[in-house]
Amino acid sequence: MADKPESRPISIPQVLAVVGLVVIGYFVYSFGLLVWDGLSLKRIAEGYERDIATVTSDIDEIDRQKVYVTSDAFAEEYARDVRKWTRPGETAVVVLDAPDADWRARPGVQSESTHSPKEHWREWWALFWDNSP
């Protein structure tokens, strides 16, 4: 008969070593996932903190505008600049743009009343035959 190699039975320390390696591998994998999730949450929290800082600065700007709008300085500026109101004793001056002068009234330009229209066929006749009809 052929000699069969002797099979060694698996010993208890070998089984415990394999089980221990599997458990250690699971713990390492689980710890890696926790670290990854923690970093992701940290990035998300930093984004929220930036958004909160932006909104806080916007709120501060709105509060400053609210204080200005409720002040007498804003009411004075609005009354004078937008509504063109004056105080008693003041005179409002409204500057109007000068109307455009008629182009015919400019020097060097003849108006239509003094210009006599020339018939165009006479210009063409003079161009080709060098004499007027």
For the segment 19-58, what is each residue's pLDDT rounded down to a tens digit?
Answer: 999 999 999 999 999 999 999 999 999 999 999 999 999 9
Number of domains the chain contains:
1
Residue 44 lies in a domain: yes
Quote the pLDDT of residue 108: 60
DSSP labels, the chain: -PPPPPPPPPPHHHHHHHHHHHHHHHHHHHHHHHHHHHHHHHHHHHHHHHHHHHHHHHHHHHHHHHHHHTSHHHHHHIIIIIS----TT-----PPPPPPPPGGGSTT---TTTPPPPPHHHHHHHHHHSS--
Instruction: Give the domain range for residue 53.
Output: 12-97
**52-97 per-position pLDDT tens digit:** 999 999 999 999 999 999 999 999 999 988 888 888 888 888 778 7
Query: Per the confidence metrics, is the pTM higher than 0.75?
Result: no
Residue 7 lies in a domain: no
